[in-house]
A and B are shown apart, each in its own frame.
Chain A
Amino acid sequence: MFDGLPLLSLAIWVPIVAGILVLLTGRDSSPCLSRWLALAGSLAGFLVTVPLFTGFNATQSGMQFEEFSTWIPAFNINYHLGVDGISMLLILLTSFTTVLVVIAGWQVIQKKVAQYMASFLILSGLMIGVFASMDAILFYVFWEAQLIPMFLIIGVWGGPNRVYATIKFFLYTLLGSLLMLISFIYMYHLSGSFDIKDLQNLPLTMTVQVFIFISFFLSFAVKLPMWPVHTWLPDAHVEAPTGGSVVLAAIMLKMGGYGFIRLAMPIAPDAAHALSGVMIFLSLMAIIYISFVALVQTDMKKLIAYSSIAHMGFVTLGLFIFNIYGFEGAVLQMISHGFVSAALFLCVGVMYDRLHSRLIADYGGIANSMPVFAAFFMLFAMANAGLPGTSAFTGEFTVILGTIQSHFWYAALAATTLITGAAYTLWMYKRVVFGEVVNQAVSTMQDLNAREIIVLGLLAVAVLGMGLYPFPVTHVMQVSAHNLLTRIAQSKLH
């Protein structure tokens, strides 16, 4: 049915074109038009990604839905798109999250509505482009281009310290990615191609691999973020508007993990093996140390931001264990964290809209005035703590399972997250939701409205669905994950 359509191009360009339309028609006097147009655009963007899932052939290991046309022949750069089971899931996550973000910003954003909505739509198209690119320079263009809308989102609609946060975010990311660009060009001179498949097959000496891996590491570790280059994330999250935090946590962080999967590990497999000890150390550091940092936060957004870093530690841990459980667990964790962190940031956003504070101390006893909200918040808090039956459990459990196979003590250390994660999340939950109402304003807070229930409800379905029945997700990515793992296991030293 969808055979003839360039689905991936549509997935990229529909939101971008919709964003440009919103920008062109937007007037400050009539924000309603912008909102509805943005909603229509994001829904259309989501709908064109659905056939990617339904039409995906899970038994095939290569790239699917491929598109190819020459773009810059002088440097053999092509507009080459394609997805495997992993990137397809991330694309779906992106288009789904964009719909939520548009709905979540419906009433909250009153200033420059058209620009806000347009930024998110364009950002969504660019992020899908990152996941769909099969050409290194195309990948790089999308990778960098999404800095521009994100820079504006944090800077224009963010909190008081937004300028510092957004410039820090931009420069950190730019530094890493420029070094990656040099690696790309270097490999181009060896292989004569920027195609990611060719780069994956390119034999490289150990020294070169190590340098290339480090340049990728700087780029992806900053994005992921890994300890110790994570410091931009809490700043950016705290200052970003709710929608910005959601996109940051749910999708942008995944780009780092995706970069490791698609580029760093297959292109420099020997270096990845050689440096896996360091990577595992950094991952465990994130899981253990950052969890304790999260424990002492007084700002809810900061707490969730730190918890994101800890959860991302599982992604890199799973990847650099080099077995199939670890690998699949890492991908599951990326998807699941996309849902859970988005939901938690939205929950904080709901409270912030009513009380204009993110400090835990300002709340307490919300269950009295907002019972429905408290129930939703409970579910997502539990998911963040890795409760069985939620999506987070599937991811973390699989990673730990994989880790145990190769090293018991790593697994034991990683498993501490089940305690610390529960500690910081539930402690925060207790202080915010239960107890006496200390702040008079809390008692007057309105419970969720229909729009918020839709958004949180959709996420709740996703979290529970993936936790109880993860088969559809694991099924589509299994062959791709196997394929990648085999590739990474092969040495490129000839």
Chain B
Amino acid sequence: MTFELPNLMPMLPEMALLAMTCFILIFDLFIQDENRSVTFVLAQIAVFVTAGCIVGTSGPSVSLFGDMFTRDAMADVLKLMICLSVEIMFIYSSTYLKLRGLFKGEYFVLTLFAMMGMMILVSAGHFLTLYLGLELMALSFYAMIALDRDNARATEAAMKYFVLGALASGLLLYGMSMLYGVTGSLDIARVALAIDSGQVAIGAPLVFGLVFVVAGLAFKIGAVPFHMWIPDVYEGAPTPIALFIGTAPKFAAFAFFMRLLIGGLHGLVGDWQQMLVVMSVLSIVVGNVTAIAQTNFKRMLAYSTISHMGFVLLGILSGNVAGYSSAMYYMAVYVIMSLGAFGMVLLLSRAGFESDMLDDFKGLNQRSPWYAFMLLLVMFAMAGVPPTVGFYAKFAVLQAALQAGYVWLTVLAVLFSVVGAFYYLRIVKLMYFDEPQQLAPIAPRMDVRLIMSLNGLAMLVLGLMPQSLMSLCTYSIMHSF
């Protein structure tokens, strides 16, 4: 009997990341606090090497380990986007963490582990890998939120997230077990086959399984009514962690939706579509209306995230390729906007000053016209005003939903985006029309300055030339499903 080692090359990025993360974990033990920048550099190298491996080993779609691990165009693109957002997060957050004594090895190692969880999740072809990736990511987050252990709010947020997250995982597992019971497989492709071929009756157990799975998914993406953790976590967690949770995992959550609902349960599209319609509407309505009442910028962003996720769901529920790629495009655009908004909070924060209240943005145009302009671009992009990229994201999603025949849904969505425009305008108002309360000079590091400028200008550049990112998303969806 011969034992053949499978071709492991498609897994190289994950394996490289794991090796480097373990190395950093050990290596960091021997590093003094004043030399912590070495770890910082190593972590960034790890991200870059991972990205390099993804590009280097990309190819046609393959499955490994009996379909447990899938490598396709969507996985590659999403993983690269995850790498990019983790790198940007590293750059934005270093000063903030140093000033608060959180610039520790744990932070980097946990980030890299979370990133690995996301990558596994993105590539999952099996319920177990899906769950493995999800938990690796979530466990790292629980710890990261509580990184500032003496901060009561952060601890509370971590606790809340942990309890609710565990509940959601439970729902998900329960749903998966039901699907397993009905279809007899944990393999996503086989589940799809069983449902599509009509081997299994579409009855109560299957639909119940679907409901539980969708509930678990909705929790991860933060759609109403499973959104309660988002505002608390965004507000309570240290800003870099909030930035992290608000960006890269969204890609993972998108992949989660795609793998489960489109890859596995596409035969039940009529059933999950209805659920997504309800969640999408509720998210857009609740997110936009509640955001108006917020005085904390991070909390406002949390509610704005919820409404943006409503738009992403709008794309997914269209149930066609145009819809999925528009949802992916929306997610990518959302992450870029979110990076910019949180990045600005980090940029304006100082020792002992969080800069996370709305009033902290007053008169920013007088203190620094350039950064005010960058945040202006981000805010108008979030409001979906052309020529910023946010408009094209909304446009793509709306056109997919209209194509699927949801006219009333699109009308509702745009009505509430007018409501949403109000609170983004309020930020612009604070920056441009009001007198500054803070007068401290804004002097970020060179790399932060550069990335923040690129981040802001990306709103405009991607808005004037939306085609590239759009076709990248379409390409990756077309070649994966």
Partners in one complex: yes
A: residues with CB less than 8 A from B are 71-75, 112, 115, 137, 140-141, 144-145, 147-148, 151-152, 155-156, 162-163, 166-167, 170-171, 174-175, 178-179, 181-182, 185-186, 188-189
CB pair A167–B385 under 8 Å, yes or no, is no
Chain A neighbourhood of B429, CB < 8 A: 155, 163, 166-167
Task: Give me 5 other A-B pairs in contact (C-beta within 8 A), A145-B386, A189-B402 excluded.
Answer: A152-B432, A181-B395, A186-B402, A186-B407, A189-B399
Partner-contacting stretch, out of B179-187, B200-208, B463-471: B463-471
Say yes or no: B467 contacts A148, CB within 8 Å.
no
- CB within 8 Å of A: which of B384-414? 385-387, 391-392, 395-396, 398-399, 402-403, 407, 410-411, 414
Q: Does B417 contact A (CB under 8 A)?
A: yes
Of B104-112, B335-343, B418-426, B447-455, which binds chain A? B418-426
Interface residue B27 (Cβ < 8 Å from any Cβ of A): no
A156-B417 CB under 8 A given contacts A72-B467, A74-B471, A151-B425: no
Contacts of A162 in B (CB 8 A): 433
Complex contact A75–B385 (CB within 8 A): no
How many Å from the CB of B325 to the closest CB on chain A?
9
Interface residues of B in 205-242 (CB under 8 A from A): none
A181 contacts B398, C-beta separation under 8 Å: yes
Q: Chain A residues near B396 (CB, 8 Å)?
A: 75
**Most B Cβ at <10 Å: residue of A147, A174, A188:** A174
Asked whether B385 lies within 8 Å of A144 as measured between CB atoms, the reply is yes
Which residue of A73, A174, A182 contacts B411 across the interface (Cβ within 8 Å)? A182
Within the complex, what minimum Cβ distance (angstroms) separates A383 from chain B?
35
| Separation of A178 and B392 alpha carbons in the complex (Å) | 13
**Is the Cβ of A171 less than 8 Å from the Cβ of B386?**
no
In this assembly, does B369 line the interface, its C-beta being within 8 Å of a C-beta of chain A? Answer: yes
State how many angstroms separate the Cβ of A120 from the closest Cβ of chain B: 16
Q: Does B380 contact A (CB under 8 A)?
A: yes
Q: Which residues of B contact A112 (CB under 8 A)?
A: 365
Report the 4 A-B pairs with minimum CB-CB distance, sorted nearest first.
A178-B414, A141-B386, A155-B433, A175-B418
Q: How far is the CA of A40 from the CA of B326 in the complex (A)?
A: 43
Interface centre among B376, B380, B418, B466 (most CB of A within 10 A): B418
Q: In the assembled complex, which residues on chain A have CB atoms less than 8 Å from the CB atom of B411?
A: 179, 182
Q: Judging by beta carbons under 8 Å apart, are A74 and B467 in contact? A: yes
Are A170 and B380 closer than 8 Å at their CB atoms? Answer: no
Cβ B380 vs Cβ A185 within 8 A: no
**Given A73, A167, A181, which contacts B425 in the complex, CB threshold below 8 Å?**
A167
Q: B99 interface residue, CB < 8 Å from A? A: no
How far, in Å, is B401 (CB) from chain A's closest CB?
Answer: 9
B residues 445-481 near A (Cβ < 8 Å) are 466-467, 470-471, 474
Q: Report whether B418 and A178 are in contact in the complex, using a CB–CB cutoff of 8 Å.
A: yes
Residues of A contacting B380 with CB < 8 Å?
148
Task: List the B side residues contacting A144 at CB < 8 Å.
Answer: 385-386, 391
Tell which of A137, A141, A171, A181 touches B421, judged by Cβ atoms closer than 8 Å: A171
**Cross-chain contact B402 with A73 (CB below 8 angstroms):** no
B391 touches A74 (CB 8 A): no
Residue B428 is within 8 A (CB to CB) of chain A in the complex: yes
Q: Does B415 contact A (CB under 8 A)?
A: yes
Q: Is the interface of A mostly helix, strand, loop or mixed?
A: helix
Q: Give the contacts of B268-283 with A (CB-CB under 8 A).
A: none
Cα–Cα, bound, A178→B365 (Å): 29
Q: Is B467 in contact with A182, judged by CB distance below 8 angstroms?
A: no
Residues of B122-136 at the interface with A, using a CB-CB cut-off of 8 Å, are none
CB proximity to A under 8 Å, residues B53-111: none
Give every chain B residue within 8 A of A151 (Cβ-Cβ): 425, 428
Closest to A155 in B: B433
Residue among A115, A163, A178, A186 with max Cβ neighbours from chain B (10 Å): A178
Contact present for B421 and A170 (CB under 8 Å): yes
Residues from chain B with a CB closer than 8 A to the CB of A137 are: 395
B432 A145 Cβ-Cβ under 8 A: no
Query: How far is the CB of B281 from the nearest CB of chain A, in Å?
Result: 16
Q: Which residue of A lies closest to B401 (CB)?
A: A185
Interface size of B as a range:
35 or more
Contact B414 A182, beta carbon cutoff 8 Å: yes
Min CB distance A31 to B, Å, is 14
A74-B474, A148-B385 given; A167·B422 CB < 8 A: yes
- A256 to B387 Cα, complex, angstroms: 20
Q: How far is the CA of A482 from the CA of B471 in the complex (A)?
A: 42
Name B329's closest neighbour in chain A (CB-CB).
Answer: A74
> A147 — which chain B residues lie within 8 A by C-beta?
385
- Taking CB as reference atom, which chain A residue is nearest B429? A163
> Which residue of B has the minimal Cβ distance to A115?
B369
Roughly how many angstroms separate A171 CA and B422 CA in the complex, as a whole number? 7
Provide 29 A-B residue pairs closer than 8 Å at the C-beta atoms, listed in order of the A residue.
Answer: A71-B467, A72-B392, A72-B466, A74-B471, A75-B399, A141-B386, A144-B385, A145-B386, A145-B387, A147-B385, A148-B376, A152-B432, A155-B428, A155-B429, A156-B433, A163-B429, A167-B425, A167-B426, A167-B429, A170-B421, A170-B425, A171-B418, A171-B425, A175-B418, A182-B410, A185-B395, A185-B398, A185-B410, A188-B399
Q: How far is the CA of A178 from the CA of B417 in the complex (A)?
A: 9
Across-interface contacts of B414 in A (CB, < 8 A): 178-179, 181-182
Report the separation of the CA atoms of residues A71 and B395 in the bound assembly, to the nearest whole angstrom.
15
Nearest B residue to A111 via CB reads: B366
- The answer for the CA separation of A112 and B372 in the assembled complex, in Å, is 14
Q: How far is the CB of B383 from chain A (nearest CB, A)?
A: 8
Question: Hey, which chain A residues are within 8 Å of B403, CB to CB?
Answer: 189
Contact of A140 with B386 in the complex, beta carbons under 8 Å: yes
Q: Tell me how far the C-beta of B463 lies from the nearest C-beta in chain A, rounded to whole angstroms.
A: 9
Contact (Cβ within 8 A) B467 A73: yes
Q: How far is the CA of A74 from the CA of B402 in the complex (A)?
A: 16
The answer to whether residues A163 and B433 also contact, given A72-B470, A185-B402, A186-B407 and a CB cut-off of 8 A, is: yes
Q: Is the CB of B470 within 8 A of A174?
A: no
* B369 proximity list for chain A (CB < 8 A): 115
CA distance A472 to B395 in the complex (A): 41
Find the A residue at minimum CB distance from B434: A163
CB-CB < 8 A to A155: which residues of B?
A: 428-429, 432-433
- Residues B391 and A141 in contact, CB atoms below 8 Å apart: yes
Q: Cα distance A141–B418 when bound, in Å?
A: 16
Give CA–CA (A175, B391) in the complex, Å: 14
A174 to B396, CA, bound (A): 18
Q: Which residues of B contact A188 (CB under 8 A)?
A: 399
Whether A174 contacts B421 by the Cβ 8 Å rule is yes
| Distance, CA A189 to CA B474, complexed state (A) | 18
Tell me the smallest distance from the CB of A37 to a CB of chain B, in Å: 17
**Residues on the A chain within 8 Å of B467, using CB:** 71-74
Write out the residue numbers on chain B whose beta carbons fall within 8 Å of the beta carbon of A179: 411, 414
**Residue ID in chain A nearest B433 by CB atoms:** A155
Which of B398, B433, B466 lies at the interface centre, i.e. has the most chain A CB atoms within 10 A of its CB? Answer: B433
Output the least CB separation between B234 and chain A (Å).
25
Closest to A72 in B: B467
Cβ distance A261 to chain B, nearest Cβ, rounded Å: 22
A470 vs B410: C-alpha distance in the bound complex, in angstroms?
A: 46
Contacts of B410 in A (CB 8 A): 182, 185
Most A CB within 10 A of own CB, among B417, B421, B470:
B421
A162 to chain B minimum Cβ distance, whole angstroms, is: 7
Per the bound structure, the CA–CA distance linking A290 and B155 in Å amounts to 61
CB closest chain-A residue, reference B399 = A185
In the complex, what residues of B have CB within 8 A of residue A148's CB? 376, 380, 385
How long is the Cα–Cα vector from A74 to B422 in the complex, in angstroms? 31
* Chain B residues, CB < 8 A from A166: 429
Min distance, Cβ B336 to any Cβ of chain A, angstroms: 18
Contact with A along B327-366 (1 / 0, CB 8 A): 0000000000000000000000000000000000000010
Are A182 and B470 neighbours in the complex by a CB distance under 8 Å? no
Residues of B within 8 A of A174 (CB): 385, 418, 421
With both beta carbons as reference points, the residue of chain A lying nearest to B414 in the complex is identified as A178
Q: Measured between alpha carbons, how far is A145 from B365 in the docked complex, in Å?
A: 20
- Give chain B nearest CB distance to A193 CB in angstroms: 13
Which of chain A's residues has its CB closest to B380's CB?
A: A148
How many angstroms from the CA of A163 to the CA of B387 in the assembled complex? 23
For the complex formed, measure the closest distance between the CB of A29 and the CB atoms of chain B, giving whole angstroms: 14
